[in-house]
Amino acid sequence: MGTGRKRNTNLYVWTVMVLGILYQRYCYGSCPESELEKREESANIVLTGTVEEIMNMDPVHNTYSCKVRVWRYLKGKSKVNGEVLLEGGNKVMIGGFGDPGICDNEVATGDTRIFFVNMAPEYMWPAHQNELMLNSSLMRITLRNLEEVEHCVEGRLHF
């Protein structure tokens, strides 16, 4: 009689563990995102900007590029040279939107975000020459997000 009760307890414990794992995946999604520090370190340029135009749709890879009006460089302003700057120097082209390897990477015209980007690698030229490429997920602009990114760039932990 004691074995049946023990078996039921074990079954209950395993059920709770499995449900906990499934719940965690459901709540946090299936797209793993690196910590903010790692995202900032792997991006040569971090900027805030507003999407002005969506262009260069790639129907095969379902990716696209956007013309972004830059409001502020949080990191790497010196790396953005004249060839990358568009229309008087306050706009850049950013590619890699729709990339399945990046979690939050979809935008619409008028969206203002924090962008973690790098220069497009040479193997992507000439199609993406003088273009910045998304390096990790976009962040919404909030005071807290701006402070956290600024502290990462400055090398101080805030959160």
What does the pLDDT look like over 47-105, one tens digit per residue?
999 999 999 888 887 889 999 999 999 998 888 887 777 777 789 999 989 888 888 88
Higher pLDDT, residue 129 or 76: 76
- Structural Rg of the chain based on CA atoms: 21
| Sequence-ordered alpha helix ranges (H) in the chain | 2-28, 36-42, 143-154
pLDDT the model gives residue 83: 78
Average pLDDT in the chain = 83
No. of helices (H) and no. of strands (E), the chain? 3, 6
Pairing of strands 112-119, 139-140: antiparallel
Cβ-contact 68, 45 below 8 angstroms: no
Q: Is 94 exposed, middle or buried, given 0-12, 13-18 or 19+ CB atoms closer than 10 A? A: buried
**pLDDT 10s digits, 8-34:** 777 776 776 666 665 554 555 567 778
- pLDDT, residue 25, reads 47
pLDDT in tens, 105-122: 899 999 999 999 998 877
CA distance linking residue 11 with residue 29, whole number of Å: 27
Judge whether residue 4 has pLDDT over 70.
no
